[in-house]
Amino acid sequence: MLDLQQLAKLRFGMSEVPKVGEQPGTYEEKWSQWFLERSFFRDFVYRNPRGEKKGQELADAVVLFDDVVLLVQVKAQCGRHNSISWATEKLLEGFRQLCRTHESLVEGRIKKMKNDFYGEIEFHPECYPNPIGLIMLAHESDPYMAAELAPEILTAKFPIHVFSLRDFATVASRFDTAADLITFLELRGDIAAREFFYVQDETGNIERMIPHVEQVFRAHMSPTCQEVLQKTTRAFEEIAAGRLLESSDWKYGLTIDDMIARAHDVDPGLPWNTRSGLLSMEVARFLGWLTRDRRIKLGQRIISACEAARDGKLHYFRHVQPSRGAACVFLITSQSRPDRVKTLQFLVDYAHMKCGVPQCLGVATEPIGSGRSYDFVMRRKAPPPAMVQQLGNFDDPFSSEEPL
C-alpha cells in the first residue's frame, strides 16, 4: 500500500503530511485534519475555525458536507499522568466544547467560516441538520469504554463518537470517501446501542459491527430486494475489513479523486465557466457521495474509455443512482474543448431527461496522452418542457449502452 507522502501526491490537492517535532497538541490537531482530508478533501474541511469572538476557536476542525456537519475536538496527552484519569478529564472537556460549538452553530452565532480553497464561506445552520461530534484522544492506554468514563456524552443532542487518534487513522484509511465515512459513522451510531465499543480497539469495534450491518441497512434503506441489500452489505464489509484498501484495483478510484481535486482548476476565462467557484464545490460534493467501490468501478471504465478514445470517436457512458436521485455522464473525446463542452451539455441534458433524476453531472476529458483537463456540467433543475420536446427529436444516445 502507498505510504502517506505518496498518497498525498496522488490524491491531488491534499495538504502536506504534518512534520514530526511540531508543538504537542497542534501536531495532533494537524493529523486529525489531514485524516479528515482523506475522506472529504480540503473542499469541506475547515481547520481551527474562528469562534464567536476574536482569538476564540470554534473547534479543532469542522467539516461541512452536503447536509452533514462534523464537529471535531482533539486532545493530546503530554506528561506521565494516569491515562484513564487523563482520558476522563479530556472526554468531559471535549464533550462540553462540542456542545458549545453545536450551540454556536445552530443558534446562528457563527456567520462565516474560512476554507482553504473558497475563502470566507457563509454558514447557514438550516443547511446542516445532521451534526456528528468527534472526540479524538492522542494517548496510550488499554482499551476502555468512553461512556463509562464520561456518561455525559450520552446526553448530547447529537451523536458523539470517541476515537483514539491512532484508531481514527485506521478509520480514515478504510473509509476514505465522504460517502463511506458518513455511512460508517451513522452505522456505528445505530449499532452502539447493541454493542460495546472501546477506545483503542477500533479494529475490534468494526468486527463487532459487521453482524449488525444488514439489519441496520434494512431498516434505513427504501424498500429493496434481498439481493441488493446483501450486495450493499457485502460492499460495506469489504471496505470495513480493509480488504478493498489492499486490492490492486484501488488505484482506479484515484480517477474520481483526481476529478474532485482538479475541479478547482476550472478556468473562469472560458465562456462556459461562468460559475467556476460554485461549480467546483458542487462537483466535489456530487462526486464525494461516490463510495470507494463505485469509484474503482467507474475509474476502470473511464480509463478503458480514455484508451479507446484514441480512435478519434466519442466514448461516453452514464452512471445512475436512483437512491440518490442522481446520474452522471462521463465523456472522453479528442474534440476541441468548446466542441466537447457542447457535446457534454447535450448528453447531460438527455440523460437528465431520460433518467428522471433531480440532479445530473457531466464530466468531459481527453484520451490518454499528454496531460489531462476536465470540463464539468451540472444540472439541478428538471429540464423545461421546451427542452424535453427538443431532445425528443434526437435519437437516444444511450440506447446501445447499459448504465454502470
Q: How far apart (Å, rounded) are the C-alpha atoms in residues 263 and 251?
A: 19
Q: Which of 177, 205, 223 is the last residue of a domain?
A: 177
Residue 17's pLDDT is 84
Q: Which of 157, 177, 197 is the last residue of a domain?
A: 177
Express each pLDDT in 151-193 by its tens digit: 999 999 999 999 999 999 999 999 999 999 999 999 999 999 9
* Greatest Cα pair distance in the chain: 76
Q: Which of 147, 177, 207 is the last residue of a domain?
A: 177
Q: How far apart (Å, rounded) are the C-alpha atoms in residues 255 and 302?
A: 8
* Averaged pLDDT in 10-residue chunks for the chain of 404 residues: 58 77 86 94 93 90 97 92 94 97 95 88 95 97 96 96 97 95 97 95 96 91 80 93 90 91 72 65 94 95 94 94 93 94 95 93 90 89 88 88 60
Please say whether the beta carbons of 287 and 374 come within 8 A.
no
Residue 215 lies in a domain: no
Residue 89 lies in a domain: yes
Residues 171 and 269 in one domain: no
Residues 167 and 264 in one domain: no
Residue 303's pLDDT is 94
Residues 67 and 157 in one domain: yes
Express each pLDDT in 382-404 by its tens digit: 888 889 899 988 999 998 766 55
Strand ranges for 66-189 from DSSP E: 68-76, 112-115, 119-122, 130-138, 160-164
Strand ranges for 139-297 from DSSP E: 160-164
Residue 108 belongs to what domain range?
4-177
Residue 117's pLDDT is 80
Residue 233 lies in a domain: no
Residue 227's pLDDT is 84
Residue 200 lies in a domain: no
Residue 192 lies in a domain: no
Residues 256 and 169 in one domain: no
Residues 37 and 166 in one domain: yes
Residues 40 and 170 in one domain: yes
Residues 164 and 277 in one domain: no
In this structure, the chain runs to a length of 404
Residue 11 belongs to a domain with what CATH number?
3.40.91
Residues 161 and 255 in one domain: no
Q: How far apart (Å, rounded) are the C-alpha atoms in residues 191 and 170?
A: 19
Please say whether the beta carbons of 171 and 181 come within 8 A.
yes
Residue 189 lies in a domain: no
- DSSP letter for 372, please: -
> pTM here?
0.92
Q: How far apart (Å, rounded) are the C-alpha atoms in residues 161 and 212?
A: 18
Residue 218 lies in a domain: no
Q: How far apart (Å, rounded) are the C-alpha atoms in residues 337 and 242?
A: 40
Number of domains present in the structure of the chain = 2
Nearest to 73 by CA among 92, 54, 88, 55: 92
Residues 16 and 130 in one domain: yes
Residues 256 and 165 in one domain: no
Residue 34's pLDDT is 94
Residue 228's pLDDT is 84
